[in-house]
Amino acid sequence: MFKKFIILTFFVNILFAHPHTFIEVFPTIEVKKHKISKLHFKWVLDDMSSAMLIMEFDQNGNAKIDKKENDFIRKNYFEPLVDYNFYTDVKINNKIQNTIKPKNFRASIRNNKAVYEFDVDSKYSIKNLKFDFGDEDFFVAMILKKEFVKIKGAKAKVSDLDNDFYFGYRLEIK
């Protein structure tokens, strides 16, 4: 009975969501005097999700995202992601900090893919600083590879993030 219970629990655990959109995260970080002086994120959405989004984003069909279209995307697609903490948890000493406040949002189309870029102004101290990327609803898979990270003034370590209910990646600044 116990064995059966364990196996049924296993099935419950894997019942719900699973990723359908893949976002590659490209962070650009500059560190000065042990503090973040520049923090820029580029998200590149997968080809198939991009195709759907671009159909809606590029309203005048010129294969570019104009200012009006950019405002529409920011308001209707990007800003609502605050509910998901923009899939980015900032942790200092393992404590989650306030939700990031993205600025200078820009959307574009590159190689048939939708690209979001934004800056984060917060001057975090790099002591025990970690960025955890993932979607707790698990509909979006955030993909971070070591070669995606550009960093100046410090070192970065990328590792897998296992939060039991979803997976993501951790970026540690050292």
Partner 1 sequence: MELYNQLLQQLIMWQYELNRYISTTIRSLNDENNITVSITILAIAFLYGLIHAAGPGHGKALVAFYFTSNKSDYKKAFKMGYMISIIHAISALIFTFGIFFILKTMFRRNFNDFTNIAMQISAVMIMLVGLYLIYEAFINRKSKEEKISKQNKSEYAVAFSAGVVPCPGVMTIVLFCIMLNHYILGILAALTMSIGMGLTISTAGILSIAINKKSKGVLSSKAYLLEMIGSLLVFSLGLFLFLSLSLK
Residues found near partner 1 in the complex (CB under 8 A): 1, 3-4, 7-8, 10-20, 22, 46-49, 51-53, 55-56, 76-77, 112, 138-139, 141, 143, 160, 162, 164, 167
CA–centroid distance for 102 within its chain: 12
Rg of the chain (C-alpha set): 18
Which parts of the chain are beta strand (E)? 21-32, 35-45, 88-92, 95-96, 102-110, 113-120, 129-133, 140-143, 150-152, 156-162, 167-173
CA–centroid distance for 31 within its chain: 20
Structure token digits, residue 31 = 């560190």
Residue 1 C-beta: closest distance to partner 1, Å: 7
Whole-Å CA distances, 167 to 16, 19, 121, 135: 14, 10, 26, 8
Residue 65 C-beta: closest distance to partner 1, Å: 15
Residue 159 C-beta: closest distance to partner 1, Å: 11
Residue 51 C-beta: closest distance to partner 1, Å: 5
